[in-house]
Homo-oligomer: A and B are copies of this chain.
């Protein structure tokens, strides 16, 4: 993968955004989420929603709001051994408030470390079970003497709100493309400041188009955020024709696409096509599994939305995942840039993937007199562009989308789209009424 030039300053903007968001202590509710959305609002006209704790959302209830001011483990002499001020990963998310002195033996079950990477702090949560705890490096844990410690978590767990951000970019059609990313992780960079940064720049890019589809961007707390959005927007669910969850888009790994539950939705075909024709050597296509990010909710059987997940290295598959080592140094400018470019190409296919019918379906139309054909015959092979013209004409039967045509021709979508534009300009094609995402897959 070549580093790309940053003509529009997008890479710089994505890196700056990640750096600005990194220190904030986000969780699934609370002020960290609000601060994060406020920063995003400087880039995008986000609508921010607040849903009260206790609201029933599908099988769940919006939890109490958690805000933390300070937390530490200190020796009897007051020396802080583990200090929330040094890393907001040091506290298990949604820990109950506590202020006690206790011997190590009693404290020990509340301490979490990573023995194999003794300098990293793990990231742990306990959203739905009342608990408290600290995360620390294994080196810290090993050095704890068998004495009594003061354990303080100065946090509130009180009725409040769940906060999320939403941006709708209206298109000609109400049919909607969903992009969703989670904003509930504290100081973790690849998971998911990378997703937030790329989604932000993608939304700015689409906002500069006059799109055919409507685009909906969700910046939401994981799991409870998508459940809440789904519960409150059931009337909008049917209009979602394509969707992607965005996460882990800044590391050095190659692109990974996790298919929708359907496995053969239009978005599955589109992303696979774009990745196959990407300059970057490698990519991975994975079947759906019911574990991961919010695609779990979008692809639950009662919704079964055509939503996949685009990542570089997937959750759980890079060593730094869910630890303090998933910091800003893991983000590569060229990876963020490449992820954004891939998403722009995906959008280009979604926007340009139409179904046409030839106006001269019987025999080939005479391209020569329309200036679309080499005039000197007999040469060994048709040129590339001529082949694209011939493919579009041959499959313009109202049953093949341009993407079907590109796949069968084995060329990038853009070449087929350009050929279709040339044929439209000479009045050789007409729009078919069928929508490409409802065609059965492939030729």
Contacts and interface: CB of A to CB of B under 8 A. Distances in A.
A147 interface: no
A227 B363 contact: yes
Interface string A130-164: 01000000000000000000000000000000000
Interface residues of A, number: 68
A300 B362 contact: yes
Contacts of A9: none
A366 B60 contact: yes
A301 B358 contact: yes
B302 A369 contact: no
Given A378-B123, A397-B304, A360 B129 contact: no
- Which of A226, A365, A375, A393 lies at the interface centre, i.e. has the most chain B CB atoms within 10 A of its CB? A375
Contact of A129 (B291, B303, B375): B375
A321 B380 contact: yes
- Which of A360, A394, A395, A443 lies at the interface centre, i.e. has the most chain B CB atoms within 10 A of its CB? A394
A300 B124 contact: no
Nearest to A299: B394
Nearest to A226: B363
Nearest to A322: B378
A396 B226 CA distance: 20
A59 interface: yes
A433 B123 CA distance: 44
- Which of A300, A358, A386, A390 lies at the interface centre, i.e. has the most chain B CB atoms within 10 A of its CB? A300
B396 A301 contact: yes
A381 B315 CA distance: 9
Nearest to A300: B363
Contacts of A60: 363, 366
A259 to B, nearest CB: 12
Nearest to A393: B290
Given A322-B380, A366-B128, A361 B301 contact: yes
Interface string A382-406: 1000110011011111000000000
A412 to B, nearest CB: 17
Contact of A58 (B124, B299, B363, B443): B363
Given A231-B362, A301-B358, A302-B360, 15 more contacts: A59-B363, A59-B366, A124-B379, A227-B363, A230-B362, A290-B364, A291-B381, A300-B358, A300-B363, A300-B393, A300-B394, A301-B395, A302-B358, A303-B363, A316-B381
